[in-house]
A and B are shown apart, each in its own frame.
Chain A
Amino acid sequence: MTEPGLPTAPWSPAVTPGGPAAAPTPTSGGGAAAHSTPDAPAPGVLPAVEGGPLGEDGLVQLLTPPGERVSHPEYDAYVAHLTDDDLVDMYRDMVLTRRFDTEATALQRQGELALFAQALGQEAAQVGSGRALRAQDHVFPSYREHGVALVRGVDLTEVLRLFRGVDHGGWDPVAHGFHLYTLVIGSHALHATGYAMGVQRDGLVGTGDDERDTAVVAYFGDGATSQGDVNEALVFASVNRAPVVLFCQNNQWAISEPTTRQASAPIAARAPGYGIPAVRVDGNDVLASYAVTAQALERARTGGGPTFVEAFTYRMGAHTTSDDPSRYRSAEQEQYWRDRDPIDRLRAYLTARGVLSDELVAKVQAEADAFGEHVRTAVRGMGHPAPASMFEHVYATPHAGVEADRAWFEQYESSFLDTREGSHR
């Protein structure tokens, strides 16, 4: 079933980004208008939504919460090429992401990590959108996009270097087309937009060559949409027609503040005012998340400009390990969303199709357990940064102020009788 695609390392993505699972081209028109059908509202014109920013009406959905495949006139085309193996791979990525969350949370409780931010509940939005990317695309994540990181081929233990306090980043952002986590809310929406403006200047938009046309994605949350930087990113992306997808995971909570403190109307409804097409998708539906992202990426690559995606989902866990959601939200609400678990939804669909056998579920679970073991071992083996490493990479070229401080510090350190690493702490 999945064996041919399974890489040797259990924590690698099941399929290389940009591989067979990515990049559908169901339309031939090239322009954004080609995606419209008579049955679907035009991009940028959102159907009226009852219930304000938390309304669930009109979300693009291909899998219902019980796992039933429903047809969509516009988006079926974007998933038509996906095989059962592709869907099992998505299932696997989501299970691994959740196992990573569980393991990292446990490591924080054991004192091995200073902090951790779970992706719990957002696996479908992340894995679905991430799998629509190609190798040459570039992602600017916020700080809980572990599912996207996994799909981009980042060893997730590298992510934990940040949370353990041994690195401010961890991985090579260029090698994976996956930028470092940005902790200041929304700042990276501008970086993504500027990067996309660079892609434009490089002539890598609208060439018609799937290996060259490039798109950029910024992931941020509902809280970030209140930031000036996200709004400025929408302006710059719009007037420059930048090949960028602004992917908002509306997980309904910005730490303790509900989306209703950020917006009184659906967040995605703002984008058309900037001249940017928008779509609201069921973010707990991995297929729909894949489909809307694939469409948005295609629009970007073909020169159709930016798209705003609002993936409506739920932060099933705490904001971080330092948070206590019981202070601000109800157990009933949490249960409502546990019943809409994105992994359960895909599992139910695949099981009903006869694709996901008990044996295969067990096999994925075994892989996840091995991955957890890998995470545990890697974190405990991360070691202690050399104190003088704090002076490295402040500048790309030597800076007299840094060098003077470094020289003083090294002299000071060497003045102790016992200079073994860490001996004076």
Chain B
Amino acid sequence: MTATIDTTSAPGHPGPTRATSPTSPSATSPAPARSSDVPPFPTGTQRLTFAKALTLGLRRALADDDRVLLMGEDIGRLGGVFRVTDGLQAEFGDDRVVDTPLAESGIVGTAIGLAMRGYRPVLEIQFDGFIFPAYDQITTQLAKMHYRSKGRLSLPVVIRVPYGGGIGAVEHHSESPEVLFAHTAGLRVVTPSSPAEAYALIQQAIASPDPVLFFEPKGRYWEKGEVDLDAATAVPHGAATTGMDCARVVRTGTDVTLVAYGPTVATALKAADAAAAEGTSIEVVDLRTLSPLDTATVAESVRRTGRCVVVHEAPVTYGSGAEVAARITEECFYHLEAPVLRVGGFHIPYPVAKIEHDYLPSLDRVLDAVDRALAF
């Protein structure tokens, strides 16, 4: 007899060491749907939550390309702790929507092997703070394999990471580690800011031949927006404003450029509304991609406004705001009326939930920075 394990009698989900979702989980996991229960793919323009837009983007990618696989912890029957993969295992089977062992390095490492074999794994890291066991595989293997092999091996792996705070979570569930990956050559790093962006960008990320870190602002999962479900989105590195490599001006203005991405785009737009009431015209740029960084779109805006404020949740120390500030200073020096200012996290570990809103870049702190920029 061999000593192989009978997987059908495997023990249940180990221990309480992983915090449960701060969202309202279902009382019971839904039973896997029969194929006849699978609803038809919705069409047209619909008002959807950010999470649902991601679900539909993933669903479309799975349907379009049978080499696409989803892998992660609790993404199957449960549909993920944020329900982003809800219903996908029932529709596509447990070989394509795979509940993995609780081992992030293992998830990324085996995905690398699957990608070498021609698959396109889309991984879910359950929370930002759980990505670090996989950091070695991501930075030393995933990021470098194309380079090491002189282009003979491509690894089209997407790593979805719910990130950011504001949801009242326990430690390790609210972090913003995006610049660690933007700092690593060989990776692309993108982050959508709205349901429509989420739907398009996830499909573009999956279609990219490069590894992509896909940061999802978990605090925005339940915000709704219009999504054109029929939009052609599968050109990953396409034209400005629609391709994955491009920043986008989401509100035009003349006095100050507010640069944001992911969860802070909504904050920036609110700030623009508030400032407009006081006669200040703010232009908002959604970076969308941190690697590559679309400096040209930001610089074009700052040459018109002369002022730039960057807003992100991650600590400002060595952060993406510092990178934007350096580039804008180099490219727009004679257009600047004020130094580039940054609004973001302090140089501390992410604080406890009861005071996290004093840590996060709030509307008031953004407006304060806008005022300081205008005061120069």
Binding site for B on A (CB under 8 A): 31-33, 36, 42-45, 140, 167-169, 172-174, 179-180, 182, 184, 187, 189-199, 201-202, 228-229, 232-233, 235-236, 238-239, 241, 272, 274-277, 304-305, 392-402
Q: What is the distance, in angstroms, from B346's C-beta to the closest C-beta of chain A?
A: 28
Looking at B101-109, B214-222, B259-267, B269-277, the stretch in contact with chain A turns out to be B101-109
**Are the C-beta atoms of A190 and B105 separated by less than 8 Å?**
yes
**A399 — nearest CB in chain B belongs to which residue?**
B292
**Are the C-beta atoms of A232 and B103 separated by less than 8 Å?**
yes
Partner among B106, B108, B113 whose Cβ is within 8 Å of the Cβ of A192? B113
Interface size grouping (class) on chain B: 35 or more
**B141 — nearest CB in chain A belongs to which residue?**
A187
Assess whether B335 is interfacial by the CB under 8 Å rule. Answer: no
Chain A residues with Cβ below 8 Å from B115 are 194
Chain A residues with Cβ below 8 Å from B118 are 198, 202
Chain A residues with Cβ below 8 Å from B294 are 400
Assess whether B186 is interfacial by the CB under 8 Å rule. Answer: yes
Chain A residues with Cβ below 8 Å from B239 are none
Partner among A43, A236, A395 whose Cβ is within 8 Å of the Cβ of B110? A236
**Given known contacts A184-B140, A229-B106, A396 and B210 CB-to-CB distance under 8 angstroms:** yes
6 contacts between A and B (CB under 8 A): A168-B144, A235-B101, A275-B5, A395-B188, A399-B210, A399-B245
Partner among B95, B140, B150 whose Cβ is within 8 Å of the Cβ of A187? B140
Q: What is the distance, in angstroms, from B83's C-beta to the closest C-beta of chain A?
A: 24
Complex CA gap A261/B154 in Å reads: 37
Q: Chain B: interface secondary structure?
A: loop
Partner among B3, B111, B137, B146 whose Cβ is within 8 Å of the Cβ of A229? B137
**Are the C-beta atoms of B2 and A180 separated by less than 8 Å?**
no
Tell me the residues in window 233-265 of chain B with beta carbons closer than 8 Å to chain A beta carbons.
Answer: 236-237, 245
Assess whether B149 is interfacial by the CB under 8 Å rule. Answer: yes
**Are the C-beta atoms of A43 and B3 separated by less than 8 Å?**
yes
Chain A residues with Cβ below 8 Å from B2 are 31-33, 42-44, 277, 304-305
**A402 — nearest CB in chain B belongs to which residue?**
B185
Complex CA gap A396/B147 in Å reads: 9
**Are the C-beta atoms of B116 and A236 separated by less than 8 Å?**
no
Q: What is the distance, in angstroms, from A264's C-beta to the closest C-beta of chain B?
A: 21
Chain B residues with Cβ below 8 Å from A396 are 146, 151, 154, 208-210
Chain A residues with Cβ below 8 Å from B30 are none
**Are the C-beta atoms of A241 and B4 separated by less than 8 Å?**
yes
Chain A residues with Cβ below 8 Å from B137 are 187, 190, 229
Q: What is the distance, in angstroms, from B189's C-beta to the closest C-beta of chain A?
A: 11
Complex CA gap A238/B245 in Å reads: 39
Chain B residues with Cβ below 8 Å from A169 are 148-150
Q: What is the distance, in angstroms, from A37's C-beta to the closest C-beta of chain B?
A: 13
Assess whether B117 is interfacial by the CB under 8 Å rule. Answer: yes
**B6 — nearest CB in chain A belongs to which residue?**
A275
**Are the C-beta atoms of A45 and B3 separated by less than 8 Å?**
yes
**Are the C-beta atoms of A191 and B116 separated by less than 8 Å?**
yes
Count of chain A to chain B residue pairs whose CB atoms are closer than 8 Å in the complex:
181
Complex CA gap A238/B136 in Å reads: 23
Interface centre among A32, A33, A140, A198 (most CB of B within 10 A): A198
Partner among A192, A232, A402 whose Cβ is within 8 Å of the Cβ of B101? A232
Q: What is the distance, in angstroms, from B13's C-beta to the closest C-beta of chain A?
A: 14
**Are the C-beta atoms of B146 and A194 separated by less than 8 Å?**
no
**B140 — nearest CB in chain A belongs to which residue?**
A184
Partner among A187, A191, A394 whose Cβ is within 8 Å of the Cβ of B185? A394
Assess whether B152 is interfacial by the CB under 8 Å rule. Answer: yes
Assess whether B1 is interfacial by the CB under 8 Å rule. Answer: yes
Assess whether B114 is interfacial by the CB under 8 Å rule. Answer: yes
Chain B residues with Cβ below 8 Å from A241 are 4, 7
**Are the C-beta atoms of A393 and B150 separated by less than 8 Å?**
yes
Complex CA gap A235/B5 in Å reads: 10
Complex CA gap A168/B210 in Å reads: 19
Tell me the residues in window 182-231 of chain B with beta carbons closer than 8 Å to chain A beta carbons.
Answer: 185-186, 188, 208-210
Partner among B5, B105, B144 whose Cβ is within 8 Å of the Cβ of A228? B105
Chain B residues with Cβ below 8 Å from A187 are 109, 136-137, 140-141
**Are the C-beta atoms of A193 and B113 separated by less than 8 Å?**
yes
**Are the C-beta atoms of A198 and B146 separated by less than 8 Å?**
no
Complex CA gap A195/B10 in Å reads: 24
**Given known contacts A44-B3, A184-B136, A233 and B109 CB-to-CB distance under 8 angstroms:** yes
Q: What is the distance, in angstroms, from A62's C-beta to the closest C-beta of chain B?
A: 23
**Are the C-beta atoms of B153 and A173 separated by less than 8 Å?**
yes
**Are the C-beta atoms of B209 and A195 separated by less than 8 Å?**
no
Assess whether B92 is interfacial by the CB under 8 Å rule. Answer: no
Complex CA gap A274/B101 in Å reads: 13
**Given known contacts A42-B2, A198-B118, A401-B293, A393 and B110 CB-to-CB distance under 8 angstroms:** no
Q: What is the distance, in angstroms, from A302's C-beta to the closest C-beta of chain B?
A: 12
Partner among B112, B144, B151 whose Cβ is within 8 Å of the Cβ of A194? B112
Tell me the residues in window 128-149 of chain B with beta carbons closer than 8 Å to chain A beta carbons.
Answer: 133, 136-137, 140-141, 144, 146-149
**Are the C-beta atoms of A276 and B4 separated by less than 8 Å?**
yes
**Are the C-beta atoms of A198 and B152 separated by less than 8 Å?**
no
Assess whether B359 is interfacial by the CB under 8 Å rule. Answer: no
Complex CA gap A191/B116 in Å reads: 8
**Given known contacts A191-B141, A195-B116, A228-B105, A397 and B152 CB-to-CB distance under 8 angstroms:** no
Complex CA gap A394/B210 in Å reads: 9
Partner among B106, B119, B141 whose Cβ is within 8 Å of the Cβ of A184? B141
Chain B residues with Cβ below 8 Å from A191 are 109-110, 112-113, 116, 141
**Are the C-beta atoms of A201 and B119 separated by less than 8 Å?**
yes
**B209 — nearest CB in chain A belongs to which residue?**
A396
